[in-house]
Amino acid sequence: MRLKDYIEPVTTESTPATGLDSVLAAAKQAPGRGLPPVHLWNPAHCGEIDIRIRKDGVWFHEGTPIGREALVRLFSTVLRLDPDGYHLVTPVEKMKIVVEDAPFIAVRVDRDGEALRFLTNVGDEVEAGPDNPIRVEMDPTTGEPRPYVHVRRGLEALIARPVFYELVEMAAEREGVMGVTSNSAWFAVGPAA
All domains of the chain in start order, with CATH = 3-99 (3.10.540.10), 104-191 (2.30.270.10)
User: What are the backbone angles phi and psi of residue 184, rounded to the nearest 5°?
Assistant: 70, 10
Burial of 75 (0-12, 13-18, 19+ CB in 10 A): buried
Mean pLDDT within 114-131: 97
Among 163, 169, 170, which residue's Cα sits nearest to residue 149? 163
Per-residue confidence (pLDDT) for residue 140, from 0 to 100:
87
SS3 21: helix
pTM listed for this prediction: 0.82
What is the structure's pLDDT at 132? 98
Q: Of 104, 102, 119, 118, which is closest to residue 180 (Cα–Cα)? A: 118
Distance between CA atoms of residues 59 and 52, nearest Å: 6
Grouping H, G, I as helix, E, B as strand and the rest as coil, residue 38 is: helix
Lowest average pLDDT, out of 22-26, 38-42, 53-57, goes to 22-26
Res. 22: pLDDT tops 70: no
* Residue 169: DSSP 8-state: H
pLDDT tens-digit series, residues 75-106: 999 999 999 999 999 888 999 999 999 999 99
Q: What is the pLDDT of residue 88?
A: 94
pLDDT given for residue 28 in this prediction: 55
Percentage of the residues of the chain whose pLDDT score is greater than 70: 83
How many of the other CB atoms lie within 10 Å of CB of 8? Answer: 8
Mean pLDDT of the 128-135 span: 98
188 SS3 class: strand
